Structure 1
Amino acid sequence: MDFLEKVMGRSHIGAAIRRVEDLEEAVRHPNIHAIFLLGGDINYLPGMIKKVRTSNKVMLTHIDLVEGIGKDRAGIHLIKRMGVQGIVTTKSNLTKFAKEEDLWVIQRLFIVDSESVKTAIRVAEKIKPHAVEVLPATIPQYVIEDMKRSLGLPVLGGGLLRTETDVKEALGKGIDAITTSLRQLWNVNL
């Protein structure tokens, strides 16, 4: 799939970072191709983007969690001009703007019960992101299968993974890749 190759670099692990200080390790890590920024503020983005691009990696910004970015068309346009390559969001309306700017889009979905699965599929079918990220990554296999069958998109998993066994179980259920801030999981060889 295009997304898995171009964004994830065929790796099954993406580095989730919450602070500017965490970027250096993610950029240098040989198993990491995609870096997911889950915090900070817009003032640090230009320097971070430059480091990521220089290392031939991809950075996606969780636009809902980075301070100073307008959660609107202008905010999406600004981060595109800054060099951000993609976004992660829970907000469906931002997906349209991001796709208009030719950004990679990951729709983050919280799965808490059967109704949230139906809603997640309905929303993703309508907005057509490049991939979805389900939280937690420990959801049952049938949910992942339903999503893949209905959406035909890569499914990423994040949250509640602590061990190498957890990662392997998530991938064994059909999750295409995981995102994690736990550095020891960046070293999992699959």
Structure 2
Amino acid sequence: MKVNDLCEILMEDPIIAGIKDDKGLQSVISSNRKVVFVLYGDILNITEIVQRLKLNNKIVFINVDLIDGFSQKEIIVQYLKKYSQLDGILSAKASMIKTAKSEGLLAIHRSFLIDSFAFHNLDKQVDISHPDFIEILPGCIPTVISWIIEKITIPIIAGGLVCTKEDVIAALSAGALAISSTNPEVWNM
């Protein structure tokens, strides 16, 4: 999958389902959500989780920082590319993003904007990792999203604490391409 293809999908359907357990997996399989962020799993079950999602025509991104049983080294990305059908990864680590890109996977750099220091360092992190997308957490701060849009030309995904229809509308209106949520109520908006 190419960046432009995913952008088109997200422009048409801007809500990304995040799943953090098997209950979420079951819910997302029966939902209309096309793009899924896998935020759980371990070395023994991650390929099965991806396979179940792919069998249900989902576009799958794995948060490699949250998979149990792997070291936090770049080899995890190569392993997942070789042994699963994932479309891309999420990570807060620039080295993981760079590895995903070199493996031909889509890469989403997660950035936790907890203060102004994190905000001002975002462009430095992006210069190192060269991601396809940036996920901003928390995603419920439209003012900050608009600041990032002015500063960085990479598509933004707003994630974390996006809980209501108003949050979704505010994030998208501020310039986010999409939002991600683990809340099935948000998936159905």
TM-score computed with the length of structure 2 as normaliser = 0.90
1:153 corresponds in structure 2 to: 154
In 2, the alpha carbon distance for the partners of 1:102 and 1:21 equals 30
Q: Does 1:104 align with 2:101?
A: no
Q: Residue by residue, what CA displacement relative to the aligned partner does 1:62-121 show, whole Å, maximum 9, x if unpaired?
A: 111111233223211101112222111011111111111111110000112222111012
> Structure 1 35/132 Cα, relative in aligned 2: closer, same or farther at 3 Å?
same
8 Å contact kept, 1:70–1:76: no
Q: Does 1:39 align with 2:40?
A: yes
Paired residue secondary structure (1:61) = strand
Q: Does 1:87 align with 2:85?
A: no
Q: CA deviation at 1:45?
A: 1.6
Structure 2 unaligned regions, length at least 5: none
Q: CA deviation at 1:160?
A: 1.5
2:122 corresponds in structure 1 to: 120
Q: Does 1:131 align with 2:133?
A: yes
1:5 corresponds in structure 2 to: 8
Letter in 2 for 1:136: P
In 1, the alpha carbon distance for the partners of 2:8 and 2:142 equals 25
2:24 corresponds in structure 1 to: 22
In 1, the alpha carbon distance for the partners of 2:159 and 2:116 equals 19
> Structure 1 33/166 Cα, relative in aligned 2: closer, same or farther at 3 Å?
same
Q: Does 1:68 align with 2:69?
A: yes
8 Å contact kept, 1:106–1:130: yes
Paired residue secondary structure (1:43) = coil
Q: CA deviation at 1:9?
A: 7.2
Q: CA deviation at 1:16?
A: 0.6
Q: How many residues align?
A: 185
Letter in 2 for 1:87: I
2:52 corresponds in structure 1 to: 51
In 2, the alpha carbon distance for the partners of 1:170 and 1:20 equals 28
Structure 1 unaligned regions, length at least 5: none
Letter in 1 for 2:78: H
TM-score computed with the length of structure 1 as normaliser = 0.89
Paired residue secondary structure (1:41) = coil
In 2, the alpha carbon distance for the partners of 1:111 and 1:75 equals 25
Aligned CA-pair RMSD: 1.7
> Structure 1 36/70 Cα, relative in aligned 2: closer, same or farther at 3 Å?
same
In 2, the alpha carbon distance for the partners of 1:68 and 1:38 equals 14
8 Å contact kept, 2:11–2:177: no
